Structures are given as structure tokens and as C-alpha cells.
Amino acid sequence: MRGSSLATRLFLSATAWVVAILVITGFVLSSVYRDATERAFDRRLNLYLRTLIAEVATPDEPPDQPFQSLGEPLFELPLSGWYWQVLRTDGEKAEPRVSRSLWDKKLPKLEEHGAELTAAGIRLGYVDGPEGQNLRMVERPVDLGADGKFLIGVAGDAAEIFDETRSFDYYLGGTLATLGIVLLLTTIFQVRFGLAPLKRISESIADIRSGRAERLEGNFPVEIAPLARETNALIDANREIVERARTHVGNLAHAIKTPLSVILNEAAAHPVSAFASKVLEQADVMRDQVAHHLERARIAARVTVVGTVTEVAPAIEALRRTMEKIHRDRAVAIDLKADPHAKFRGERQDLEEMAGNLVDNACKWAASQVLIEVQVEPALDPKAGPRLRIVVDDDGRGLSAAERAQVSRRGQRLDESKPGSGLGLSIVVDLAALYGGSLALGDAPIGGLRAELVLPGV
């Protein structure tokens, strides 16, 4: 059951228990009823047996007179399945006295079938009858002293036991099957009703992750309410931690910026000194390193915020207008084709920073045209959600494979004549990776470089 839901596992477990309990109950009830039916049948046979013993023990009855007082018409009906038999066992030759129903047949002896005497001095067991019938038979040896020794047996058709038991089993099976169906339906209802609050919590958490809600709202049963409270407390704690991290990053940036500026100013005041030149060079490296790592820390703090969603089309449109103003002296045309329903699972300033770096680089290197396309792609994995794809093309000279690998590394620039620190694309790569996305560089259909940014969508 790996990967199965809790409701499914609970239902299967409950079903297995219900089926097992009903099967065991049915087996036990059937066995008890069969034993009870058999005992009732044996009491009937014992009644006839005692009556026969009394008849045999009556001294004034002629030995050839048939017994008339058993009170069972079936003993008179030939081969009816109900028989009695009286055998002399003291060595004297005498014809056995049998019921008319036996006709010219005889009953087998239980002793020959291995039946042992009970504490009551009788034998009980099943034997085959004259017509292949399955008989339930009771047998008792009787010692009348001078009147002789006898073996008296009474047998009845065991089909009565089997038919009665079979009929009970049919009714019992139908009753237990109906009960099982009712119990399973009840279990389904209980599982669905009982787990409904957990499903609501799951859906609410999904809404929080997608930005449609900020907290778990609504009333929950007392058993689930602590989970909802702790989840909301965890969300609040997460936001507080992120806010503190942002504050610490800002304080650190401010604290480091001032000493670095002092060092740079002091080194710039002595341009002819080799020592000052080396200090100025290393201070620039330090500034770039600090800027890069502070930016990564700031980004990492932001992406841990749960539930932030950004509309993509308005953000990219505002970015397009800004870039047109910045690069208006180069007459670069920026065309935008954006899905109006596209949403980014993250903060707007991060989207603007990633897309802004890509569009700014495209405008710097483009001859006359930049194309921006925003697409929403369905998720390959249903649990992952849709993917947002932002494609930026320019009609510049493009880059070779080696150059693409170089510009993606921190601080690497191909043309020192272009403004910038060389951190733009590396920041895009780092920021996209923190969001679970990626950046790929390739050839644009219009002749220059294509940058494809893939990010989590909604």
C-alpha cells in the first residue's frame, strides 16, 4: 500500500477486520448450531432407544411380537431412513428383531466402526444405511441377566441434521453478508467524515503555498484544532524569522558598506602608490564579493516566505517600459507577448530582478530588437505545479558555448566597455536555483542570444 492515502489504508484495514470477524463469527455460529442440532437429534434417538430397552426388558411379551409403542410411523415405512434393531449377543441363536422399515436388511454395528462407549454406556456415530443413506446411530449393549444379553440400536436419517444445518448456514450467510455491507458502508462514512478536517487542512495548506490564503481558517474538531493552531504558529514563526533575517542582512550591508567606502576613498587618494593600487583592487573584489553574498542571503530569506504569488504580465510590462526609457538612445524595440494568467510563486522584486537582468543584458547587446515571451506550461508531475517560462531574445551577435559558460559565472564579463559588475547573470542563476528554477542560454531565432528562465508557477 505504498503511496496510498490514509483514508484508503484505514478503509482497507477496517474492511479486512470486518471480513475476518464476520467469517470467524459465521464459522463459530455454524459449528454451534450444528452441534445443537446434532444433540437434539441424539436426544430423539435416545428416547427411542430407552423405549426399545423397556420393551426388551418386559418379561411377559412374546419374543416374536413386534414392538408397537415407539410412536414413530417412519419405523413402519420400508427403507424410510429410520430403523431399530435388537441383536442377541449371549451366544444363543436367535433371529434379530428389526423394525419393519429395515425390510430384510440389517444395521451395522458401531463397535465395528470404532465407536467407543460413552460414560452413559452408549455408542454414537454415523454409519451407512441400507440404501446408501447417511445415518446417525445410537447403540447400547444391555445385560438382562437370565433373560440374555442384547445389543440394541436405533438409527435415523442424518439428512435431517445436514438439511437443518445447511438451511441455517444459508440464512446466516445472508445475514452476515448484509451486516458486512452495512458495516463497510458505515466504515466508509466514518472514514470520510472523520478525515474530512484533515483534508480541509491539506487544502488550506495548499492554498497558503499557492498564495491564495495566509493562514488556516475555519472551525476544526477539538482533536484537529491543536494541529491547525500549531500550523498557524509555524507560519507566523517562519515570517518572523524571515523578517529578522532581512533586517540582519540590511544591517550587515550598511555596516560593511561604510568601511569599504572609506578604504576605497583612502586608496583612491594615492593613485601613484603601488600599495594603494593593490588595496583599491582588492577592495573592489571585496565589495563585489560582499554584494554577491549579501544578495544571496537576502534572496534566500525572501524565498522562504510561504504563500507569496506575483502576477507576471503587469510586472514584465512595467519592466519593458522602464528598459525602453533606459535604452531609448539606442532605439531598441522591446516586444512583449505574455500570458495574462501567468503567475509566479514568489515575490515580485525577485521576479523583477531576474527578468530585469536578462532584459537589460539583451538591450545592451541587441542591434535593434528584443523579444520577451511569457508562457505557462503544465506540470510534468501533478505534485510539482505548473512551470513559468520567460524567454528573452535579442538580435545581437550572440555567444558561443564557451562564452555562455563564462558569463554565467560570478563576476565574469565579456566586454569591459559595457557597464555593470558582471554579477547580473550569476545572480539570476542563484536566485532561480533558490526558487527551484533554472536559466538556460542558447541561440535566438532572430540571430542573437536566447535566455530561458524557468520558475515555479501557480
Q: pLDDT tens digits, residue range 287-338?
A: 776 776 666 666 665 555 555 788 999 999 999 999 988 888 888 899 999 9
Look-up: residue for cell 530582478?
A: 353
pLDDT score, position 377? 87
**For 435-451, what is each residue's pLDDT tens digit?**
888 898 888 998 889 99
The answer to whether the beta carbons of residues 441 and 358 sit under 8 Å apart is no
If one counts every other C-beta atom within 10 angstroms of the C-beta of residue 81, the result is 19
pLDDT score, position 422? 42
The crossing angle, in degrees rounded to 10, of helices 159-210 and 225-268 is 30
Phi-psi bin for 439: left (phi > 0), alpha (psi -120 to 50), beta? beta
Helix (H) or strand (E) holding 256: helix 225-268
Question: What's the CA gap between 306 and 246, in Å, rounded?
Answer: 15
Phi-psi bin for 375: left (phi > 0), alpha (psi -120 to 50), beta? beta
Question: What's the CA gap between 353 and 431, in Å, rounded?
Answer: 9
Question: What's the CA gap between 288 and 194, in Å, rounded?
Answer: 57
Strand ranges, E, within 111-265: 123-128, 134-143, 149-157
Helix (H) or strand (E) holding 88: strand 83-88
Q: pTM of the predicted model, to two decimals?
A: 0.48
Q: What is the DSSP letter of 187?
A: H
CATH number (3.30.450, 3.30.70, 3.30.1330, 3.40.50) of 7-163 reads 3.30.450
pLDDT score, position 317? 93
Question: What's the CA gap between 370 and 368, in Å, rounded?
Answer: 7
Q: What dotted CATH number matches 310-456?
A: 3.30.565.10
pLDDT score, position 190? 77
Residues of the chain with pLDDT under 50: 1-3, 410-422
Question: What's the CA gap between 299 and 246, in Å, rounded?
Answer: 9
pLDDT score, position 416? 41
